[in-house]
Amino acid sequence: MELELPDGKILSLPDDATGADAAAAIGSGLARAALAVKVNGEVRDLARPLPEPSDHDGPAKLEIITDRSGEEALQLIRHDAAHVLAAAMMELYPGVKISIGPPIENGFYYDFDFPDGVALSEADFERIEAKMREHIAADEPFVREDVPARDALDRFLREDQDYKVELIEDLVRNDGVPTVSLYTNGPFTDLCRGPHAPSTKRIKAFKLQSVAGAYWRSDSNRPMLTRVYGTAFFSDKELQAYLERVEQARARDHRRLGPQLGLFNFSDVAPGMTFWFPPGTQVFNSLVALSREMGVPRGYTEVKTPQLYDSSLWKTSGHWDKYQEHMFITESADTPMGLKPMNCPGHCQLYSLQPHSYRDLPIRYSEPGLLHRNELSGALHGLLRTRNFAQDDAHVFCTEEQVQDELEACLDFAYETYAIFGFDVRLELSTRPDERLGSDEQWDTAEGHLIQVLDRKGLSYDINPGDGSFYGPKIDLHMTDSLGRSWQIGTVQLDYNMPMRFGLTYTGADNVEHQPVMIHRALMGSYERFIAILVEHYGGELPVWLTPVQAIVLPIADRHLEYARSVRDQLRAADARVELDERTESVGRKIRDAELRKIPYMLIVGDAERESENVDVREHRQGRLGSMPVGDFERRLEEQVKSRSNP
C-alpha cells in the first residue's frame, strides 16, 4: 500500500503493515518516539494493521503521533492514565464497578460505583497514585482485541460489571455492532474503542485532582457514581506548569477578587443572592447606563413592570406548568402568587394593556428588572449563578416580515456591546426541548429563522439540541470564566407562543387583527454574571470608565490635606470618581494600599504640587507619569471615560 506523509513523500509498505511498521520505515528514532498513527484523520494504535487502502482516493495520508503532537498526543496518554487508574482501583477496591473513563480537556476522568459503605475521598489519592505508578513502572502494553459482542457481554456479565454490560447491550441494540474492542493493560481489561499508546510507560507525569459525584449517563434518575478527575503530561515540568496556571487562574476568580476589592459579598442569610457594596453598585449601575445609552438610538424604550403576579398570569404564560420548580411562590389572601423569574410575561401583559397598530411595530420594551429564580442549591456559583439578578433584558414585538431584520439588529447590538470589552463570544443554537409549548410547525419556523439569520451573517455556531426555552429556540452567546468554564452571557430567542397565549394583537394595514412575533433578548445577560466575567477577564483591573474609584489623592503629609481636598473636589465637580486618603501614613504605605485596590491613578500631592497647582500622577502598575496641572489630568480621565478605552 502507499501512504502520503505530511511532507508529501510517498511511503510504500506491504499490505499487512502496522502503524509501527510505518513509523519504523520512516526512521528508527521516530519508531521509538511514536505513540500512535493518524491515517486520514483517524488516530489508531501502532500495533494495528493500517486500514485497507480504498481504490479511488489515492494514497492515505499518514502522520506519526509523538509526544510533540500536542493535544492529540496528550489525549492518548490521558486516556491511558484513565485505564491505569481503573486498574489500580480494581485492585484496591475489590467489587468496584467501572463505567467510563474518557480523556477530556486538560485531563481525564473515570467513573466508579463502589460497593456499599465505601466512600472515596481525596485523602485516598496518595495510595491510588502509588498503585498507578507501579503499573506505569511495569511498562504494561495496551493490547487491543476485537471480539464478538456476545463474548464481551458474557465476560462482563461473569464479572458483574453491570455498566459495561449495559454499554454493550446498547451498542448492539442501537448500532447493531457485531464486534467490540477490548483493551488490556496488565491485569485490567476494559471495553474501549481506543486508541491507546503502546504501553503505560508513556505516561511520564500524572496527578489525581479531585473526586466528584456524577450520574450514570448524566441522568439524575440513575445511580450516582464516583468520578475521579486527573491529568497527565509528557513531563513533570509541564504538569507543574499546568498546576501553576490553574493556581494563577484561581487568583482571578471573581469570588475572591469581588470581596477583596470591596465590590460585593454573600451571606448565609440569603444564599445565592448578592450584597452589593457601594463600589460594586457603581459598576453595576455603569453597565445599566451603558445598556440604556446604547438602546436609545436602536429604538429601545424602557418600561417598568411588577415583581409579583397572580398565578393566573403564570398559567397564561406557561411558566406555572413548565417553570414552576424554578420559581419562588408565595401567597396573599389565599391567592397563590409568583415572583417573576423572567420579564416576558409582564411585558406581554403590558403590551396587551394598549391597542397597537402595525405602524407602531416593532415595539422594543427594555427593563433591567430584578428576577428571582429558585436554582438548585448545588448549582449556585458566586455571581455566575445566583437566585436573584437583573438582565439587560428586552422584548421586541414585531411582524413576521420584520423578524429577520430584528434578529440581525439584536446580533449586531450584541457584537457592538462585546466590542467595548474586547470579548470574544462563542455561539450556540439551542433547539426545541422535550418540555415545550406549541406545535412542531411553529418550532420549525422559529428554528428556521434563527438558522437563516446566522447563515446570512456568516456566523459559525455549535448546535445545542434540546436546550431551547420552553417557549422558543434561541441563539446563546457564551464566554468562559477564569477556570475555563463556559457560561451563557447573551441570548436571542424567538417566540410565537407567548403572543398567542396572551392573545396579543396589532391591527394590520388590512384593518384585521394579527398576532405579533416576540423576540426575547439579553446581550450582557445577567449583570451579575457579566460582572463576574468582567472581573475575571480584567483580573480585577477594570477599565477607567467602569472602575468604582478612578483616582485617589495621596497627600505627602497632613499639611497637604487642604490642597488635596481641593484637588479631589475639582475632579469630582468634573464627574470623576475620586477618593482622598486622609490617613496619617507614609506615602509608601498609601501607594501600596492604592495599588492593592487596583485604583488606576494615584495623585500624589506635596509641597511642590501645592505650589504649582499640579498633581504628580502615578498609574496603577505602570509607575510615575509625571507632574501635571490638575486640569490636564482631568482631561486625560475624561478622554478615557468617553472612549471607554481598555487597559
Partner RNA sequence: GCCGACGUAGCUCAGCUGGUAGAGCACUUCACUCGUAAUGAAGGGGUCCGGGGUUCGAGUCCCCGCGUCGGCUCCA
Q: How far is the CB of 529 from RNA (least distance, A)?
A: 13
265: which strand partners? 275
Phi/psi region, residue 426 (left: phi>0; alpha: psi -120 to 50; beta: rest), is beta
For 345, the enclosing helix (H) or strand (E) is helix 344-352
CA angle 234, 238, 243 (to 5 degrees): 125
Nearer to RNA, 105 or 321 (CB): 105
Distance in angstroms (rounded) separating the CA atoms of residues 507 and 505? 7
Helix (H, G, I), strand (E, B) or coil at 613: coil
Q: How far is the CB of 310 from RNA (least distance, A)?
A: 26
The catalytic residue among 395, 501, 521, 537 is 395
Q: How far is the CB of 125 from RNA (least distance, A)?
A: 11
Q: How far is the CB of 476 from RNA (least distance, A)?
A: 14
Nearer to RNA, 324 or 452 (CB): 324
Nearer to RNA, 42 or 595 (CB): 595
Nearer to RNA, 55 or 611 (CB): 611
Nearer to RNA, 215 or 320 (CB): 215
348 annotated active-site: no
474 annotated active-site: yes
520 annotated active-site: yes
Backbone angles phi, psi at 558, to 5 degrees: -60, -30
The residues near 320 (Cβ < 8 Å, ≥ 6 apart) are 311, 314, 338
75 annotated active-site: no
The catalytic residue among 44, 373, 385, 387 is 373
CA angle 24, 30, 36 (to 5 degrees): 85
Q: Crossing angle of helices 125-137/71-92, nearest 10°?
A: 110
The catalytic residue among 45, 111, 393, 495 is 393
Nearer to RNA, 68 or 193 (CB): 193
The residues near 582 (Cβ < 8 Å, ≥ 6 apart) are 555, 561, 564
Q: How far is the CB of 509 from RNA (least distance, A)?
A: 48
244 exposure class (CB count in 10 Å sphere: 0-12, 13-18, 19+):
exposed
The catalytic residue among 227, 340, 344, 560 is 344
The catalytic residue among 520, 590, 598, 618 is 520
Q: How far is the CB of 557 from RNA (least distance, A)?
A: 3
Nearer to RNA, 76 or 180 (CB): 180
Backbone angles phi, psi at 276, to 5 degrees: -95, 120
Distance in angstroms (rounded) separating the CA atoms of residues 109 and 64? 26
CB atoms closer than 10 angstroms to residue 323: 19
Q: How far is the CB of 160 from RNA (least distance, A)?
A: 17
Helix (H, G, I), strand (E, B) or coil at 109: strand
With beta carbons less than 8 A apart as the criterion, state whether 553 and 578 touch: yes
Q: How far is the CB of 64 from RNA (least distance, A)?
A: 23
Nearer to RNA, 222 or 304 (CB): 222
Phi/psi region, residue 284 (left: phi>0; alpha: psi -120 to 50; beta: rest), is alpha
With beta carbons less than 8 A apart as the criterion, state whether 383 and 264 touch: yes
395 annotated active-site: yes
254 annotated active-site: no
What the block records as the C-alpha cell of 647 is 487597559
Helix (H, G, I), strand (E, B) or coil at 59: coil
The catalytic residue positions are 344, 373, 391, 393, 395, 474, 520
